[in-house]
Each structure stands twice: as C-alpha cells, then as structure tokens.
A and B are shown apart, each in its own frame.
Chain A
Amino acid sequence: MIMILLTIVFIVMRVLPGNPVLLRFEKNADPALIASYTHALGLDKPIYMQYFDYLWGLLHGDLGLSMAGEFEPVGPEIMSRFPATLELTVYAFIVAVIVGVLLGALGARKPGVPDKSVKVFGILIYAFPVFFLGMIFQLIFGIWLHILPVSGRLDPGAIPTYLSIDGHSLQTGIYTIDSLLSGNLPEFVDAVRHLILPATALGLVISGIFIRMTRANMMETMRADFVTAARARGLKERTVVYSYALRNALLPIVTIMGLQFSLLLSGAILTETEFSILGVASYLVDRINFRDYTAVQGTVVFIALLISSVSLIVDILYAYLDPRVRI
C-alpha cells in the first residue's frame, strides 16, 4: 500500500504532462536558466531513473530539494514544522472523540428530543467548512470578546523553551510538552490558549463522524444479550451504558481511526492556514503559492508515509483491543 501511494504521487507529479520548471517561470524565461534548474533537480534523466532516484532518496529520508531559492532540502523543513501539525491534530482528535462519543452515547441512550438534537447537530457540524467555523470562533472569541488569541502558536516575541540538563537537550517542538518539561508554566498556558480555538474548530467538524458512529454502534450494542444480562443482574443503568455497552461500541470506532486521521490532515491544512500555524499543512499551501513543485511533492510523500504508519498503528492497536482479530 505504501508503494502504491508513493507511485501514485510520482505518476501524478512527474509522468503526467506538465513541466514543473516551466510552471515556475514566466513564459519568456531564459532557456539556459530553465536548463540549469532542470538539471539541478534531476529532471533531465529518463523517467525510470527519476523513479529510482526518488525511491532511493526516500529510503535515506531525502524528500528532494526545494525549487525556491537555493535548492534547500525539503525534509528538514518538514520535520521542523511537523510538531505543530502533530500538536494541532492530536488535540483536535481529543476534542472530536470527547464530543463525538459523549453526544453519540447520549443520542443512543435517550430517544426523542435529545437523540434528534444530537442527530441534527451531527449533520450540521459535518456540513461546516472548517475554516468558516474557525473564522466564527476568531470573530467571537478573539475580535469581539478579546479573550483568546486568534493566530500563531505563542504570543508574538515569545521564545519557546525546552528541557535542557547538563548540555543535553530534549526538544520535541510540541510547545505544550516542551514548556511543561522545562517547568515554564506561563508558556504552557500561552500555548494552550493558542490551541483552544483551532483545535476546537477542527475537532468539532471531525466529531460529526464520531457522533454518527458511536450512536449507531451504541444502538446495536444496547440490543446485545450481554447488556440485557447486565441489566437483569440489577446493575445501575449508568454502569451498564458506560462500562459495558460503550466499551464494546467503541471498538469499531478504532478501526476507522486511520481514515479519520486522513480527514484530520485535510482539515489541518485549512485550520493551519486560517490560524497562521506554521505546520506541515500550511507549508504545503505556502509552497503551492510559490509554485514550488518539488516541495509540494515532498510534503505529499511525507503525508503518504504518515498515513501509512498511522494505519499500521491502528491495526496493531485494534488487535490489542479486540482479541478476536488476533490469529
């Protein structure tokens, strides 16, 4: 699957018509300049050689050179921006799971008005463009009420601190973790304040699917024999719902988590742009606007690898949670 993804990326970016170098320059650019760019990027080699170069580079963690400026390597730039994306997606995911599971369980447990409201909320939130929700949050909490910052990851001028003992330093780039490790509480609060709006906007939009999944699974689980048995034994309804039914209803949700992650990344592109967070996704958007074709390819490859690793982790996690799938 990883190979297929990587090959698709290669085919779309290289084999299909369209010369990346020509896309970058104006129509009347100097042919010598174009030739030098083509050579520097290895685009003058035969296509199968390019394919092997591309795979060989990937094995060494080389995502190619940026076409902008001095051919800077794309890999290190992505790695320096990845923590911001990871931080945003993880917090958004937590918001999505909490909102989705709680509302979904509520809907399944209380038919009638609560269930209907949950359903309508789920449909409505799914139809929200994530950046529009972000703008509404910015307008209300940032511009009208002045209680939360609307862009960036820290206050302007703040320099992120990180753990450093005897000259050895540990820098994850995830500010909420770095600041805690180094004991810088004000910075932690600052980082969290900056995360609230983007993570809530992204998390809420994704939560629509969790609501739907939890609700459907819960309704099915509540009809299962073991739930009836638990009730017959006189357990409290709350115990039956939350420690018996919900746990089993959550299993199928884990299986779709890999796909959720890819949805989260799509949303992160828009959220990072909206909240001026310098992450991988906003790097992609930034490079598109500069027509930096190789950087776009590098980022897309990085995302492909990320998706593949996440789906692998999800598979392992599922086997751990549900003994039935172990062979």
Chain B
Amino acid sequence: MTTIQRTHAKPQSLMAKLVAPIFGKGYGRGLMLVGIGLTLFISVMSILAPFIAPHDPTKIGLGPSNSPPSATFPMGTDQYGRDMLSRIIWGGRFILLVAVTAVAICLVIGLPIGLVSAYVGGHVDRTVALLMDSIYAFPSLVLAIMIISVFGVSIINEALAIAVVYIPSYFRVVRSQVLSIKEMPYVDAAKSAGAGTPSVLLRYIWPNVTASVVVVATVNFADSILTTAGLDFIGLGLNVTLPDWGIDLTYGRMVLPLGIWWTIAFSGGMILLSALGFSLISEGYAERVNPKLR
C-alpha cells in the first residue's frame, strides 16, 4: 500500500516543484519568463549555429575589412573581413559549454559536500567550512587565473577553475539550510521511525534544499559566463581564431579607437544578454520562493 502511494506521489511533487513555480501566477513570474525566453533563444541559436549562420564564421576576407553594419552584413565585418553576424551566432558555443560544464561540476561536488558536512557536523564540518570560507573570500577571478595559469587553457580547465571558485557558494547555501533543517521535529520523527542516514538526507532533507540550489545554480550560470569572458579578455581564453563572444570583444577593443563600435557592441551585448537571462531566472525564482524579497 505504501509503495503504491510513493510511486504516485513522487513525479507529481517533482512537477509541482519545477514547473508550477515557473508558469503559475504569482511573484517573479515576469522576470522568470523573460529570463527563460532569453536563455532559450540564446541556447537554441548556439545549438543550431551550423544551420542558421549565413556564412562561415572563420572565413577571412568575406567582405571588406571593418565595414559597418549594412544589408549584406547586418552586423558588419571585423578587421579580417569576417562576417560578424555569423560569428555572433556561433560565438556562444564555447562560453556556454564552459558554463554548463562548470555548473555541472559544482552540482556534483558542492552539493554532496554541503549535505554530508552539515549533517555529520563536529570537527569535520568545521574544517571543511573553514576551507570553503577561505576559498570564498578570495577574488574569484584571481583564483581562476591561478588555476588556469598552472593547468593551461582548455574547455575543461576553464570549467574546473570556475567550479573551484563557485563550489563554496553551493556549500555555504546547502550547509546553512541543512544545519537548520536537521533539527526539525519531522527529521527526528523519521529517524526514530528507523530511517537510515542516506534515506534521511535524500528523502527528508534534500527536497527542502532544492529551492535555494536552483537560485545558486542560476546565479552561478551568469557568473560563469562573465568569468569566462573575463578570462578571454585577459588572454587566458581558448584559441583566438575561434568564433567566440569573449574573444571577439577582446579583439574588437583593439580597433575601438577608430570608432568601430559594431565588433564590441554585438559580442559584448550577447555576453550581457546571456548573463542577464540567467540572472533574471534566478531573481524571479528567488522572489517566488522567498517572501522576504517581495
């Protein structure tokens, strides 16, 4: 009897947790919808880049060098005569890939550490918390620079560097929630009913932590995009010939004194929009789940 109830209840509660808060009426809906729209648009554009880009983004001399936006080149061309529109359409692939990988690493490592550390408590918890706080206090970009300068530039290293920087954020949020939740009477009740540690953690504590994790993860997405662009900007980006918003923005800076605005405006604008999309989702969701923000 109990097993039947559980299988029915689970998918429903998951749907209720994820979908209803987004499309249901209430606080933060507008922010979230705009954010999701932006994010979807940019993701679809990046995924479909090979099919929708009008030209080869790396083809040199396609048009005149540094020509302003026109009918043939709606976003102009860069100093090598490459089509900016095609470069913009292609340019999100690496930056978003790095962000997705970084967030995935953070989720896989940061969440379990936070859950277990807070639940176990004692010396273990204090040591881990001190370590995490030290990393958290450090300027994120400096730490990322340090890691990449040691390991070299690659998509996975960039993602790792960003993950190391942001794991403490996940840890702190999860830990503080678990610390208060584990003292609740219903957790004691579950324990006295014979629930084992994994069961208490996953079935009783975890569901109450998910809401804050969504907020942290979406902020993390936005920050990862900004950090990756920052790494590109200081010369720790991927291959300079790749079509990439961060790299285009960095090189567009060289021709800025000539008054050439289109190379930086569109690449920088895309970085801004993708970071904005995730920030809006985060803000809207936080407003919905946290009445204090209204």
Binding site for B on A (CB under 8 A): 1, 4-5, 8-9, 12-13, 16, 18, 119, 123-124, 126-129, 131-132, 135-136, 138-139, 143-144, 150, 216, 220, 258-259, 262-263, 265-266, 269-270, 273-274, 284-285, 288-289, 291, 293, 296-297, 300, 303-304, 307-308, 311
B236 touching A262 by the CB < 8 A rule? no
A123-B134 contact given A216-B292, A266-B140, CB 8 Å threshold? no
Q: Tell me if B141 and A269 are in contact (CB < 8 A).
A: yes
**Contact between A284 and B145 (Cβ–Cβ < 8 Å)?**
yes
Instruction: Indicate if the CB atoms of B226 and A129 lie closer than 8 Å.
Output: yes
Say whether A288 contacts B139, CB under 8 Å.
no
A123 touches B276 (CB 8 A): yes
Interface size on B (CB < 8 Å)?
Answer: 46
User: Which of B2-10, B147-155, B191-199, B203-211 is near enough to bind chain A?
Assistant: B147-155
* Contact residues in B for A266 (Cβ distance below 8 Å): 139-142, 230
On whether the beta carbons of A128 and B272 are closer than 8 Å, the reply is yes
Given known contacts A144-B259, A273-B234, is B145 in contact with A288 (CB within 8 Å)? yes
Which residue on chain A has the smallest CB distance to residue B140? A266
Docked CA distance A220–B290 (Å): 14
Nearest-CB distance from B36 to chain A (Å)? 14
A284-B256 CB under 8 A given contacts A216-B292, A220-B292, A293-B149: no
Q: Say which residue of B130, B257, B276, B283 sits within 8 Å of A143 (CB atoms).
A: B257
Q: Which of B137, B150, B235 contacts A16 (CB 8 A)?
A: B150
Mostly helix, strand, loop or mixed at chain B's interface?
Answer: helix
Query: 12 A-B pairs, CB-CB below 8 angstroms?
Result: A4-B134, A5-B137, A9-B146, A127-B272, A135-B253, A136-B264, A143-B259, A266-B140, A270-B234, A285-B145, A288-B235, A303-B138
Q: Is the beta-carbon distance between A303 and B139 smaller than 8 angstroms?
A: yes
In the complex, which residue of chain B has the Cβ closest to the Cβ of A267? B141
CB pair A129–B279 under 8 Å, yes or no, is: no
For the complex, what is the distance from the CA of A285 to the CA of B142, rounded to whole Å? Answer: 10
Query: B138 CB to closest chain A CB, in angstroms?
Result: 6
**Are B257 and A216 touching (Cβ within 8 A)?**
no
Do A139 and B137 contact each other (CB < 8 Å), given the known contacts A288-B234, A288-B236?
no
Name the 10 nearest CB pairs between A and B, nearest first: A132-B268, A266-B141, A127-B275, A127-B276, A4-B134, A265-B139, A266-B139, A262-B139, A285-B234, A127-B279
Task: Report how far A285 CA is from B226 CA in the complex, Å.
Answer: 17
Return the chain A residue nearest B144 by Cβ. A266
CB distance from A304 to the nearest CB of B (A): 7
- Complex CA–CA separation, A16 to B140 (angstroms): 19
- Indicate whether B293 reaches chain A with its CB closer than 8 angstroms: yes
A144 to chain B, nearest CB (A): 7
* In the assembled complex, B261 has its CB within 8 A of some CB on chain A: yes
State whether A1 touches B268 (Cβ < 8 A): no
* Chain A contact surface mostly: helix
Q: Which residues of B contact A1 (CB under 8 A)?
A: 130, 133-134, 137
Q: B131: CB under 8 A from chain A?
A: yes
Docked complex Cα distance between A237 and B259 (Å) = 48
Q: CB of B233 within 8 A of chain A?
A: yes
Determine the distance from Cα of A16 to Cα of B292 in the docked complex, in whole angstroms: 44
List of A residues within 8 angstroms of B150 by Cβ: 12-13, 16, 18
CA distance A132 to B250 in the complex (A): 9
CB of B271 within 8 A of chain A? yes
Distance (whole angstroms) from the CB of B220 to the closest CB of chain A: 13
Contact of A270 among B151, B152, B230, B280 (CB under 8 A): B230
Q: Are B230 and A131 in contact (CB under 8 A)?
A: yes
CA distance A135 to B264 in the complex (A): 8
Interface hub of A9, A127, A284 (most chain B Cβ within 10 A) = A127
- CB under 8 Å from chain A, chain B span 209-230: 222, 226, 229-230
Q: Are the CB atoms of B275 and A258 closer together than 8 Å?
A: no
Asked if B276 contacts A124 (CB within 8 A), the reply is yes
B243-275 residues at the A interface, CB under 8 angstroms: 249, 252-253, 256-257, 259, 261, 264, 268, 271-272, 275
**A143 and B256 in contact, given A123-B280, A129-B268 (Cβ under 8 angstroms):** yes
Set of chain A residues within 8 Å of B149, measured between Cβ atoms: 288, 291, 293, 296
Which chain B residues lie closer than 8 Å to A297 at the CB level?
Answer: 146
- Min CB distance B281 to A, Å, is 10
A4 contacts B142, CB within 8 Å?
A: no
Smallest CB-CB separation from B294: which chain A residue? A219
- Residues in A with CB closer than 8 Å to B140 are 262-263, 266
- Are B264 and A132 within 8 A (Cβ)? yes
CB neighbours (8 Å) of A16 from chain B are 150-151
Contacting residues, chain B, for A12 (C-beta < 8 A): 146-147, 150
A132 to B253, CA, bound (A): 9
Contacting residue for B142 out of A18, A126, A293, A303, CB 8 A: A303
Least CB separation from A126: chain B residue: B279
Q: How far is the CB of A210 from chain B (nearest CB, A)?
A: 16
**Which of B130, B136, B142, B230: most chain A Cβ within 10 A?**
B142
B60 within 8 A of A: no
